[in-house]
């Protein structure tokens, strides 16, 4: 029997046959196992002879199966190495690399600069109610300033004021002030929507809003903070800036910030020069807005600013037209996009 079994092991030439053999002989219901069970009924002297013999047989067969299995596995691996060999000398196939959209790049640059000044990022919904987009921001109903926003309205629900696609990121000021006690220092990146379409206006565009609320905040903080930002963002040591009086319902006084620039060939250099460029809106948060959000204007003051990210990107990276930003043209993205 021993010779027969060992021969069978040697003749198994794949792992499955070998495994079947192992089960048939050594498995619980296998032949050798059955023979082992007969030992119990034997007379002690006979068992003394048969026991060691059977045990030796069992061990020999088990060892032979293990060896054969190792051999077969080795052979299989060898075969795979032969057939699946990789030609290391072939040139690799190029993997197309994704690009970061300039808007995202500029978001990140702006967030990093204000992050160093202690601002944290806050966000709000794109679909806003009338309260957050207008009323709480001191746009009374019927106020002409509402008309300047080219608002997209949703169908009104049962007499309620219609929801809108937010026309600016300022509603997030309200949401944060309603939810959080001063001191507040937030930066709000987001999409905003206005019904407008030409080379420098798209119906969806991006803003970054800033809001600082604390005790004894004044216009000097606003100016210092924004001038520092412009220097960092445009990477220039000197920036000539002016704050030109303006009107926003939610700030008083309000100012637009202009910076000097000069044209160099096709592109624009910000900082010094002979012309002014408007880059953002800003102002001291209106006392009515603070009250609307449950903050006492006699105790706290603050400033806010809002800027168009798409335009900042145009100025810094020299894109002439805003519309291709949102056309998902891979050629444009490859040209103007950033390595992540």
Task: Kindly state the smallest distance separating residue 138's Cβ from ligand PHE, in Å.
Answer: 11
Q: Does 168 bind ligand PHE (CB under 6 A)?
A: yes
Assigned token pair, 18: 């070998």
Nearest to 246 by CA among 256, 232, 238, 234: 256
Which of residues 271 and 306 has its CB atom nearest to ligand PHE in the complex?
306
Residues paired with residue 275 on neighbouring β-strands, in sequence order? 261
Smaller CB distance to ligand PHE: residue 150 or 235?
Answer: 150
Q: How far apart are the first and last CA of the chain?
A: 70
Residue 189 lies near ligand PHE (rule: CB under 6 A): no
Tokens of 304: 């806010």
Q: With contacts defined by CB under 6 A, how many residues of the chain interact with ligand PHE?
A: 11
- The residue within the footprint of ligand PHE, chosen from 182, 271, 283, 302 (CB under 6 A), is 283
Find the residue with minimal CB distance to ligand PHE.
Answer: 306
Given CA atoms 17, 19, 22, 24 in this order, what sign does their dihedral have?
Answer: negative
Shortest Å, Cβ 339 to ligand PHE: 31
Residue 78's SS3 state is: helix
Residue 139 makes contact with ligand PHE by CB under 6 A: no
User: Using CB under 6 A, which of 171, 182, 281, 302 touches ligand PHE?
Assistant: 281
The C-alpha atoms of residue 244 and residue 257 are separated, in whole angstroms, by: 6
Closest CA to 324 of 338, 305, 310: 310
Q: Is 245 exposed, middle or buried (0-12, 13-18, 19+ CB in 10 A)?
A: exposed
Is 123 annotated in a binding site? The answer is: no
Shortest spacing between CB 251 and ligand PHE, in angstroms:
5
Binding of ligand PHE at residue 251 (CB under 6 A)? yes
- Binding ligand PHE by CB under 6 A: which of 105, 133, 138, 170? 170
Q: What share of the chain is helix, strand, coil (3-state, %, to 5)?
A: 45, 25, 35
Residues 195-224 contacting ligand PHE, CB under 6 A: 209
Residues in the chain: 340
Q: Kindly state whether residue 306 participates in binding ligand PHE, applying the rule CB under 6 A.
A: yes
By the rule CB under 6 A, 305 interacts with ligand PHE: yes
Closest distance of CB 281 from ligand PHE, Å:
3
Contact between 304 and ligand PHE (CB under 6 A)? yes
Please identify, among the stretches 50-58, 105-113, 300-308, 317-325, the one whose residues bind ligand PHE according to the rule CB under 6 A: 300-308
282 interacts with ligand PHE by CB under 6 A: yes
Q: How far is the CB of 207 from ligand PHE (least distance, A)?
A: 6
Gap between the Cα atoms of 340 and 333, Å rounded: 12
Structure tokens at 84: 């699946």
Q: How far is residue 261 from each of residues 65, 84, 276, measured CA to CA in Å?
A: 85, 62, 6
Question: Which residues are at the interface with ligand PHE (CB under 6 A)?
Answer: 168, 170, 209, 248, 251, 281-283, 304-306
Which residues contribute to the annotated binding site for Mg(2+)? 252
Instruction: Summarize the annotated binding site as residue ranges.
Output: 252
């Amino acid at each position: 029997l021993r010779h027969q079994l060992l021969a069978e092991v040697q003749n198994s030439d794949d792992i499955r046959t070998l495994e079947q053999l192992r089960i048939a002989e050594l498995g619980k219901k296998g032949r050798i196992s059955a023979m082992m069970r007969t030992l119990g009924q034997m007379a002690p002297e006979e068992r003394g002879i048969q026991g060691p013999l059977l045990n030796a047989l069992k061990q020999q067969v088990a060892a032979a199966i293990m060896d054969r299995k190792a051999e077969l596995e080795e052979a299989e691996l060898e075969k795979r190495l032969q057939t699946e060999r990789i030609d290391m000398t072939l040139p690799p196939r190029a993997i197309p690399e994704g690009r970061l959209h300039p808007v995202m790049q500029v978001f990140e640059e702006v967030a990093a600069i204000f992050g160093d000044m202690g601002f944290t990022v806050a966000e709000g919904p794109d679909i806003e109610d009338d309260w957050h987009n207008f009323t709480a921001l001191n746009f009374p109903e019927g106020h002409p300033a509402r008309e300047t926003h080219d608002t997209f309205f949703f169908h009104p629900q049962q007499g309620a004021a219609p929801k809108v696609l937010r026309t600016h990121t300022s509603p997030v000021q309200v949401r944060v002030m309603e939810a959080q006690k001063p001191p507040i220092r937030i930066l709000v990146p987001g999409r905003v929507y206005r019904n407008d379409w030409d080379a420098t206006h798209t119906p969806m565009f991006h803003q970054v809003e800033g809001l600082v609320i604390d005790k004894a905040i004044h216009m000097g903080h606003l100016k210092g903070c924004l001038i520092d930002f412009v220097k960092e963002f445009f990477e220039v040591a000197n920036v000539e800036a002016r704050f030109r009086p303006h009107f926003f319902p939610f700030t008083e006084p309000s100012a637009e910030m202009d910076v000097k620039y000069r044209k160099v060939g096709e592109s624009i250099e910000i900082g010094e020069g002979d012309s002014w460029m408007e880059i953002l809106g800003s102002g001291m948060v209106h006392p009515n807005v603070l009250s609307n959000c449950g903050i006492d204007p006699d105790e706290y003051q603050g400033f806010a600013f809002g800027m168009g990210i798409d335009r900042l990107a145009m100025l810094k990276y020299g894109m002439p037209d805003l519309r291709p930003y949102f056309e998902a043209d891979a050629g444009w993205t490859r040209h103007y996009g950033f390595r992540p």
